[in-house]
């Protein structure tokens, strides 16, 4: 499908990429669709719960290891550039979000709650240390 793309003013390569992903996704299981624009250093994505196309500009982030860790809930209703919607990382918010995602998808995973909790605790130790 990508090889069939013909640049035009009506459909951007990004929109065409999402159209292609929509053709191959599994409507019951696909939770996230991502398109990488390597040349412009941007990431575009949609989620099942928030299907609007969002993007982030990687050039706007500070990747120095002393900079503040940031987070963004991919299911936040938003469209377009979301760089200004990131917030400082909060472990408890992240844990709550991870547990919610686990409970929503656990029937598709071969994991027990105990195994998932162990993973979260390991993450806590890594983050705190």
Q: For residue 88, what pLDDT is reported?
A: 94
H or E segment to which residue 93 belongs? helix 91-105
Q: Which two tokens stand for residue 90?
A: 């909060």
| Residue 32 DSSP SS3 | strand
Q: Where are the domains of the chain?
A: 1-89, 90-129
pLDDT, tens digit, 9 for 90 and up, residues 41-61: 999 999 999 999 999 999 999
Q: For residue 128, what pLDDT is reported?
A: 47
Q: For residue 35, what pLDDT is reported?
A: 97
pLDDT, tens digit, 9 for 90 and up, residues 64-89: 888 899 999 999 999 999 999 999 99
Q: For residue 126, what pLDDT is reported?
A: 52
CB atoms within 10 A of CB 30: 14
High-pLDDT (> 90) share of the chain, % = 49
Q: For residue 41, what pLDDT is reported?
A: 97
pLDDT at residue 125 is higher than 90: no
Q: Which two tokens stand for residue 47?
A: 């989620």
DSSP output for 55-114: EEEGGGS---TTSPPEE--TTS---EE-GGG-EE--HHHHHHHHHHHHHHHGGGS---HH
pLDDT at residue 129 is higher than 60: no
Whole-model pTM? 0.80
């Amino acid at each position: 499908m990508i090889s069939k793309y013909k640049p035009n003013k009506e459909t951007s390569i990004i929109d065409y990429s999402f159209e292609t992903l929509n053709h191959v996704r599994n409507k019951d299981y696909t939770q996230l669709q991502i398109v990488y624009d390597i040349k412009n250093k941007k990431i575009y994505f949609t989620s099942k719960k928030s299907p609007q196309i969002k993007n982030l500009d990687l050039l706007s982030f500070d990747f120095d290891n002393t900079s503040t860790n940031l987070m963004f809930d991919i299911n936040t209703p938003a469209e377009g550039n979301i760089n200004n919607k990131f917030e400082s990382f909060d472990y408890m918010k992240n844990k709550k979000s991870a547990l919610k995602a686990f409970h929503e998808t656990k029937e598709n995973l071969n994991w027990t709650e105990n195994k998932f909790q162990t993973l979260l605790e390991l993450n806590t130790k890594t983050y705190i240390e």
